[in-house]
Structures are given as C-alpha cells and as structure tokens.
Structure 1
Amino acid sequence: METYNNILQNIARYVTLSEEEKERLIGIIRTTKIKKRQFIDQPGYVCNYRNYVVKGAFRSYFIDGDGKEHTVQIAIEDWFVSDFYSYITQTPATLYVEALEDSIIFQMTYEDIEGLCKEIHNLSEYFRISTEKAFAFSRKRALSNLSMTAEEKYLELLQRYPNIVRRVPQKVIASYLGMTPEFMSKIRKNLSSKS
C-alpha cells in the first residue's frame, strides 16, 4: 500500500475511500516505466489509460499544419496526464504525450475506472472533481493567453510552478506559453536585469 501513498493522498484531498475501496483501486493500477522521449499517447490511437505521474515529467502537444509544436500541458509528479479528450470520448487522440525525463506512471484503463466508479461512489466523485478542476484550469489558461502579456504569463508560471521552470526544457516552456524560445530568453534576460 505504501507504494501507492501519493495517489491515495491525492484522492484523500477530495473524498474518503474505505480500506477495501483503496485495495480495489490499487488492484487496477499498472506501474509502467517510461523512457525520456517515449510517447504514451499519439494521434490516431485511442487513449485507453488515465496516467498518474509517480516520478518524472511529461508534456502533451500537437503539431499544426506548418509543422510547429504547441504544448498544451506539462505534468510532473502527482498530476494526471493523457490526451483527456480522447480518453473521455474514447475516440482517436489528437495529441502526443511525451516523457521529458525517465519516468514512472500508474496506468488505469478506461474500462477498469468506469467499472469501479459504478460501484464506488466516492471514486466517481473524485474523478468528477478532478475533471472539473482540470476544465476550470484550462479555461483560466485560455483567458490568460488572451489577456496577459508574454512577460506576465512567464511570471505567473514561474510563481505558481517554479519546479516546472527549473526542470522542463526552455523550448517546451516557450511552446506552452505560446512564444519562441528566443523571445522567452529575452524576457528572462529583462527580468534578471530588473532584479
């Protein structure tokens, strides 16, 4: 059970599971080691797993018609990462989900989670809450992208997630913030000259 402490603590922030319910959840978890640059989701394939990051870092991104990459999510320990639209609708993915570091994830299949959620109300409630929070965050991020300057977006990321800024390659952060690595480098230079 100790191996699963982090995911169980994540769940306990929102709901309470009995010992038997925890055991049933642990019974559907598959532990998978992922190498840096390995994909866990790719366009054209249905995303069958909800992936919880135990150790490591990931990004999800798409490639536009001009061949430019656009990062839509960065995930580190204690976060879920997948092509969530593909996972929820069980339709082919549109995103690549790639490991940025050698990583370990817990994987739970769509069928297993759906089956357990029908039987364990609090688990269903947990996934509802976490999905709503993810939706609310993506809405806030979309509004920030429309209303904030590039420097403000970078400062907000730095303030909220300093660990991500330290660990994730600058080109991935720039892609996530919707700017070129060169422009982000100028922002960082300007900020360091102000301090």
Structure 2
Amino acid sequence: MEEAHKQLIKSFFKPISFDAGTEVSFFEMWEEKNFKQNELITEAGSLEKYFYIVVSGVQAIYLLNQKGEKVVLGFSYSESPSGVFDSFIYQKPADTFLEALKPSKLLALSLKNYQSLLDQQVDFYKWGYQFFQDILFGRLFREVELLTLSAEERYIAFMRRCPDELKVIPQKYLASYLNMKPETFSRLRASVKY
C-alpha cells in the first residue's frame, strides 16, 4: 500500500491507536478500487460490500423517485467516507445507488474486516459510534436546512461549505441535492455571490 494511502487511513481513524504489529495487519485489510466516470459502485437492490475512504473523485448517493428521476441524498469526495452505510452494516439490500460522478479511486474495507476490527479494538468500536452519530446529526441538520431555508439560502449555505470538487460536478446533481429545479440552480449560480 502506498504511503499516502496509509496516511489517509491513519488520519481518518485518528482516535484509534495501533501498536506496530496491529497497524501492519490493519493496512493489509484495505484494498484499492477504481471506478470510471458514471460507473455504479453500488446498485439499489444489492448488498454494500465495503466501507470506503475516497482517495480521489466524487460520488453521489441517490434514489429514484416514482418518475425515475435521481434524488440526490449526498456526495462523497477526497478524504471522506463513502458507501451505502445502512446496507453495509445491516447487510440488507440497498435502497440507494452510489455512482462515481468523476473517475474515482477508493480504499475499501470489507464487512468481515470491519467486524473483525470491532471485535478486536475497543477504540474502533468507539470510533464507529462517533462516526455514525456524526452521520445522523449531519442528516438532521440537512433536513432542517431543506425545510427552513429558501432556495437561495440553501444554495449559498451549500456553496460556502462545499469543497471545490463538488462545485464542478453536473448541475443536475447539485440541484437535486438542494431540492430545486436545475433552472433555479443555474439562475442562482449566475446571479448570487457567496
């Protein structure tokens, strides 16, 4: 494994302390996965096999509405986690799709190795608790924004906090994520300074 990948994993799991021997076996649990632009990583109805950390690229997690349109729930990008977490943890068929919007390189941890870490490392269990708590509160914060902010306010808030990687993905994905029509997003992009 490349040294840069090791550093990325270590920074992601910062609260966990490994001794030298355990650290070596921890890194051996990870494998690199590469996906082409627009390639499905996880398809609705299938089981999520991996917990990912993004090395490069951008992915969108979405579901299809009754009209067959993509409803974007979130994004993952460099140095962030990725995957369909509920399918991964509960090993139930995914309700959502995970798609590479840009060519993507991901580091993948299998469920077997994930569970092994939970069993062997108290620190990993604590990390998992905090990680999923952060995911839950992030979702709650997003729902409050969707319900209480105007389209312009949602646009400004998102553009201020999102990394540059997300600003270059197709507008239709960003518009869907912000619960607005692509024309509205395009108009806001042209007229609103953030």
Q: State the TM-score, normalized to the length of structure 2.
A: 0.93
Distance 2:22 2:186 in 1: 48
Q: Please give the per-residue CA displacement for 1:123-144, whole angstroms capped at 9, x wherever unaligned.
A: 2222221111111101110111
Give the CA deviation at 1:166. 2.4
In the other structure, the counterpart of 2:6 is 4
In the other structure, the counterpart of 2:127 is 126
SS of the aligned residue for 2:53 comes to strand
Distance 1:146 1:30 in 2: 40
SS of the aligned residue for 1:118 comes to helix
Amino acid at match of 1:173: L
In the other structure, the counterpart of 2:21 is 20
SS of the aligned residue for 2:60 comes to strand
Structure 2 gap segments, 5+ residues each: none
Give the CA deviation at 1:10. 1.6
Distance 2:39 2:189 in 1: 29
Distance 2:164 2:129 in 1: 27
Structure 1 gap segments, 5+ residues each: none
Describe how 1:1-195 pairs up with structure 2 within 5 A. Answer: 2=3, 3-12=5-14, 14-192=15-193
Give the CA deviation at 1:7. 1.6
Give the CA deviation at 1:17. 2.9
Amino acid at match of 1:21: T
Distance 2:19 2:127 in 1: 14
Contact 1:17 1:122 in 2 (8 A): no
Give the CA deviation at 1:18. 2.8
Give the CA deviation at 1:162. 3.9
Q: Please give the per-residue CA displacement for 1:73-96, whole angstroms capped at 9, x wherever unaligned.
A: 111011111111111211000111
What is the count of residue pairs matched by the alignment? 192
Q: State the TM-score, normalized to the length of structure 1.
A: 0.92
SS of the aligned residue for 1:5 comes to helix
Q: Please give the per-residue CA displacement for 1:92-122, whole angstroms capped at 9, x wherever unaligned.
A: 0011100011111011111211112110111
